[in-house]
Structure 1
């Protein structure tokens, strides 16, 4: 976000008719719109804020077919053929981005580097060996190694060569330029709040404009329209990121991730002469579970310990959604859908999955031959029995928040107890309120009930937001929606 110009596409202020409307301007939405525009379809992108700026604008941008311990999980739950198809789809996405950079002349700082999944504990090397074997059987050139280039020893790692890291915003702004060049339209600050399926379909914005289209794609990260009840099969996960310059000679020259210590992910990016930007991600947690400032502290301490002398210059957070069977949902929006589609559940690997989703959805919409892996990602699939425990655990967690948080909603007795810079849930006049006091002492209150399904939000002390622990919606302290699935703000409350 710091190294690219901001965008200023107009908001939609009039009714519009196109072949396809894409809701969401992240990597999945823009990739879909780009592929459709290339096929000759008229297309409009409708983004609630700014394109390539929300989740995609804050990704750590690993473009890799190696996704932590995914292949052993996919093989276990879906079988070896599914693992091979998944590997093929992901590797094709990596190659597609490289090809598009060349074709469009986009300098997206794409670098070919190896990807590693490592562990430091000897007790977990069997997991790594299984993943290396599963990834090899899936068709990736995977090896078990103990030398990674990291400045600390590891017990074992999976290594896959010739993966990529890039600047996704520069890439997507290039796609956006090509969409416009081909006659497509991009509208920012245009929040979609209504969807009517039919022939044609229609979407309505919060300002009352209507878009008529034969086909609609919901690519809003977490679906804002969920007629297949995907919210019962999507678990939001938030992760923190710190970054800062290091000498180029200290670059470990690869992309690294470990499932240990609540996840630790490392890569570098181009910075200035003689330096690289070190990017470290970790502290995976469910939104709305609190203690975010302390989590940042742990991540920063780990980074300084492993990379001595590094000065942290940036910190931020990103979010994604996990599925119980380790594969994303890309395809028809629900069992009866004929012209509405969805892309979600990327499990922290949105770069390759977003590109895959764009190609797959464009093929479905245009009637082109579907890739052999299309059915594997179909949102209408029945989860395998092996994913049942994970599904039940998530649903139980949501139920616990939905019921338990209401019973425990009165966290403090009085607004007067809230210190400057803090927020808390307070029962005021019989209503559950989310109250924030800024550093100057001013207090603002909003409803504590998430406008998605009514769970009680919790205060994020690092990002100064109200986060929903059930499905990951996020709001600023004035109640404005920052991240869906919620589309309506939290109502203001008088104190």
Structure 2
């Protein structure tokens, strides 16, 4: 594998679909029928569906459109979500598994329709999806998944041969899935949304919500947005009144990508739960090459040596695909719900006008498109067959999500208490090397101190502004990360990723 570290770039999707001029924030207070918070796959899909129905819609994005989680995806559009169907058959029954399969498959068909209807140039390719294992002991698990997925309505089958350059013990294959350039798709959707009368505001962070008739949103610039209905599509909800943070656990995954000869690149989309996940697919590149995209090494934000994990993932890719020339690397972040099903619908039991879409568990492309159709129908008073499956207000048996719920809360408690121990916060600012960061005690306060490449130190509060956990430093991505709920901040305290809506306070050294 050829790898010149200095030449490795970030997200391929962001690099190859430049955003153009930013849409300015609102210049003053405004009123709309529907305000959609978040300009990723879920937010833009919802906004487009609503505008198509004739609704007056404004999209409020804190950064740039499709530049957050969606801009760092691996871009697989499939209803085969690793090993979800056997789990759903046991926890939600055959009907729950069928509704899940049908809703996710409908999302793929919807995307294909829009690509054709709007003439979107997004490297759309139909492909088969595979969940594979190399360990023979997992064959029974794969056979059970193939059977459950087939009973749920997917064209699933168990196979033992793949196009991967190594043998597998078995795999679940589902044909008729798709892969594409997600940012080109979404920017085209946003352009069509504007043509239909919708409005997009970038650089607009929503920090407050008052529910009512109308609902009132407050931005960090002091602008008020009044809306009959509100959709919270910020990946991790930025409002805590529904206590959804108790049912969501964040995780990051690393991605490396590079070119291989076209005849050596797999055309299917592959994933295995082994080795902390390994996902492999390829995308069109040109000049007789395809871009190989390898994902894996998942971890809780703020808890891992990310450089070491990048090296491990790169080595795996090079070992299995000789001749690979790495060109890009990035990381993505997902939220897992405690019962493995996304949370899409009314924000909380008392909500009449506010909806949420979250908890896609690494499958946000099909999930986000599904959420757009589901929320737009709910907002229009239409019944949807699978609304109950995804309803955030659902309360299931303890066996369904109790163990995951307790495990997540135990991890949060451990970080909230353990990260404050002197042994964890005993570093000294003067000991930091350029590019390093550490949480230290200064004047009785926990401070997050960073040393930039010139040796200059800067300090901010180490207390996450979301719910008060201590952040930790990710050297590979130069970011402070909260291990409790996944908020991420730049070295100077600026918000990189929610659910936090306030930056880390500055501290004097």
2-structure distance, mates of 1:26, 1:408 = 40
2:140 alignment partner, one of 120, 126, 135 = 126
With 100-109 and 189-198 compared, the bigger mean Cα shift is at: 100-109
Q: Tell whether 2:379 aligns with 1:374.
A: no
Matched with 2:307 is: 293
Q: Secondary structure at 2:449's aligned position in 1?
A: strand
1:198 alignment partner, one of 212, 218, 230 = 212
Structure 1 residue 384: Cα displacement: 3.0
1-structure distance, mates of 2:255, 2:285 = 17
Cα displacement string for residues 236-275 of structure 1 (whole angstroms, at most 9, x for unaligned residues): 0100000001110012110000000000000101101211
Q: Tell whether 2:400 aligns with 1:363.
A: no
2-structure distance, mates of 1:140, 1:384 = 27
Cα displacement string for residues 8-65 of structure 1 (whole angstroms, at most 9, x for unaligned residues): 1111221111100000000000000000000000000000000111100111110000
Matched with 1:326 is: 340
Q: Secondary structure at 1:31's aligned position in 2?
A: helix
Matched with 1:48 is: 62
Q: Which runs of 5+ in 1 are unaligned?
A: none
With 411-420 and 349-358 compared, the bigger mean Cα shift is at: 411-420
Q: Report if the CA contact (8 A) 1:78-1:384 is conserved.
A: no
2-structure distance, mates of 1:238, 1:76 = 27
Change over 3 Å in CA distance of 1:409–1:233 after alignment to 2:
farther
Q: Report if the CA contact (8 A) 2:419-2:425 is conserved.
A: no
Q: Secondary structure at 1:261's aligned position in 2?
A: helix
Cα displacement string for residues 253-310 of structure 1 (whole angstroms, at most 9, x for unaligned residues): 1000000000000010110121100000000111010211100010001000000111
Matched with 1:4 is: 17
Structure 1 residue 412: Cα displacement: 3.0
Structure 1 residue 410: Cα displacement: 4.6
What does 1:135-154 align with in structure 2 at a 5 Å threshold? 135-154=149-168
Q: Secondary structure at 1:271's aligned position in 2?
A: strand
What does 1:390-469 align with in structure 2 at a 5 Å threshold? 390-408=404-422, 410-469=424-483
1:262 alignment partner, one of 256, 276, 288 = 276
Q: Report if the CA contact (8 A) 1:409-1:426 is conserved.
A: no
1:97 alignment partner, one of 108, 111, 122 = 111
Q: Secondary structure at 1:52's aligned position in 2?
A: coil
Q: Report if the CA contact (8 A) 1:290-1:458 is conserved.
A: no
2:396 alignment partner, one of 364, 377, 383 = 383
Matched with 2:316 is: 302
Structure 1 residue 407: Cα displacement: 2.2
Q: Tell whether 2:71 aligns with 1:57.
A: yes
Q: Report if the CA contact (8 A) 1:290-1:459 is conserved.
A: no
1-structure distance, mates of 2:186, 2:257 = 22
Matched with 1:110 is: 124
1-structure distance, mates of 2:204, 2:338 = 32
Change over 3 Å in CA distance of 1:408–1:350 after alignment to 2:
farther
TM-score by length of 2: 0.96
Change over 3 Å in CA distance of 1:292–1:383 after alignment to 2:
farther
Change over 3 Å in CA distance of 1:127–1:364 after alignment to 2:
same
Cα displacement string for residues 453-476 of structure 1 (whole angstroms, at most 9, x for unaligned residues): 000000001101000000000000
What does 1:332-347 align with in structure 2 at a 5 Å threshold? 332-347=346-361
Structure 1 residue 192: Cα displacement: 0.4
Q: Tell whether 2:311 aligns with 1:282.
A: no
Matched with 2:7 is: none
Structure 1 residue 408: Cα displacement: 4.4
Q: Report if the CA contact (8 A) 1:74-1:325 is conserved.
A: no
Q: Which runs of 5+ in 2 are unaligned?
A: 1-13
2-structure distance, mates of 1:384, 1:326 = 14
Structure 1 residue 420: Cα displacement: 1.3
With 43-52 and 411-420 compared, the bigger mean Cα shift is at: 411-420
What does 1:164-175 align with in structure 2 at a 5 Å threshold? 164-175=178-189
Matched with 1:77 is: 91
1-structure distance, mates of 2:17, 2:121 = 12
Structure 1 residue 181: Cα displacement: 0.6
2-structure distance, mates of 1:260, 1:473 = 27
Structure 1 residue 364: Cα displacement: 0.8
Structure 1 residue 385: Cα displacement: 2.3
2-structure distance, mates of 1:13, 1:403 = 43
Structure 1 residue 99: Cα displacement: 0.4
2-structure distance, mates of 1:6, 1:337 = 35
1-structure distance, mates of 2:286, 2:426 = 49
Q: Report if the CA contact (8 A) 1:287-1:468 is conserved.
A: yes
Q: Report if the CA contact (8 A) 1:235-1:394 is conserved.
A: yes
1-structure distance, mates of 2:414, 2:250 = 15
Q: Tell whether 2:192 aligns with 1:178.
A: yes
Matched with 1:160 is: 174
Structure 1 residue 409: Cα displacement: 6.7
